[in-house]
Amino acid sequence: MRTRRRDMTDEFETHRQHLQAVAYRMLGSASEAEDAVQEAWLRLSRSDTAAVENMGGWLTTVVARVCLDMLRSRRARREDYVGSWLPEPVVTIENGPEDEAVLADSVGLALLVVLDTLTPAERLAFVLHDMFGLPFEEIAPIVERSEMATRQLASRARRRVRGAAPATDPDLRDQRRVIAAFLAASRNGDFEALLEVLDPDVVFRVDAGGVPPRARPPVEGAEAVAAQILERGAPFARFARPAIVNGNAGVVVIPRKQPVAVVGFVVAEGRIAEIDVIADPAKLRGLSR
């Protein structure tokens, strides 16, 4: 019995990173993703899997079902959320060369924000098929639809993602230069300099945990965003430390010992197209100093 459990544990661990990646893209929360993966382990430990030929596929299906249930429950709770809801970030503080493996496996905040606008079934179909290559015949039973209907779910999701997710400039050095100019203009209170680095249609979102009065609706447009930054965000620019936020250049705001915000940026064609400020304490608990 001990040998079987040890073998089961070893096999599960070989799939853990993949399962975590699936769950994070489904949920947009590293902590909730870990909960989903842990639930998959519990179900594995209680199941007779002697006849399972593809353990990775079996576990992926279990995690997908768990995430689907979590998303449906979340949608019911989200009705009372004030302001913007943003994903729980994956942050790497820059101390040297980036971890290429982490960057290769990252998914941007902007894409996760778009995924959160999909229905749970659309999100599952898109993530499993378009991101991880699962065939529709395996996805259909999870969402309890026909294979054709599941294809339609993924197609609708694909159209919304392509129409909403901005294309980010790929070079991290270029991203950093634009963000550095943004921070300098913020610290100096330079309205015109801010307009130079902001896209005319820039979107500024703050997730403060859905608690008023800090919670605010998104702000759109370069002038409105620049005014908001100078009114509320300039002091934080002094404490901004460079970081990699979900694979893109960003900052962590650390005025003392603990971070108070993570800021993700979308830099497109040399200007900032999106600014996402995650200041929900619950979403910052996993960050080390």
User: 46-61, pLDDT tens digit by residue?
Assistant: 877 666 778 888 899 9
Confidence (pLDDT) at 250:
95
Confidence (pLDDT) at 202:
96
pLDDT per residue as tens digits for the range 108-117: 888 998 999 9
Phi, psi of 254, rounded to the nearest 5 degrees: -130, 90
Confidence (pLDDT) at 60:
94
The helix/strand/coil state of 272 is strand
DSSP code, position 233: I
Written as one letter, the residue type at 212 is P
Higher-confidence residue of 53 and 225: namely 225
Dihedral Cα 27, 32, 169, 232, nearest 10 deg: 110
- Separation CA 289–CA 283 (nearest Å): 14
Q: Is 94 left (phi over 0), alpha (psi -120 to 50) or beta?
A: beta
Residue 69 binned pLDDT confidence (cut-offs 50, 70, 90): very high
- Separation CA 170–CA 167 (nearest Å): 9
For the ranges 7-11, 49-53, 186-190, 254-258, the lowest mean pLDDT is seen at 49-53
pLDDT per residue as tens digits for the range 241-262: 999 999 899 999 998 888 899 9
pLDDT of 107 over the 90 cut: no
- Separation CA 72–CA 249 (nearest Å): 32
Q: What percent of the chain has pLDDT over 90?
A: 56
The helix or strand, by DSSP H or E, that contains position 231, with its residue range, turns out to be none
Confidence (pLDDT) at 76:
66
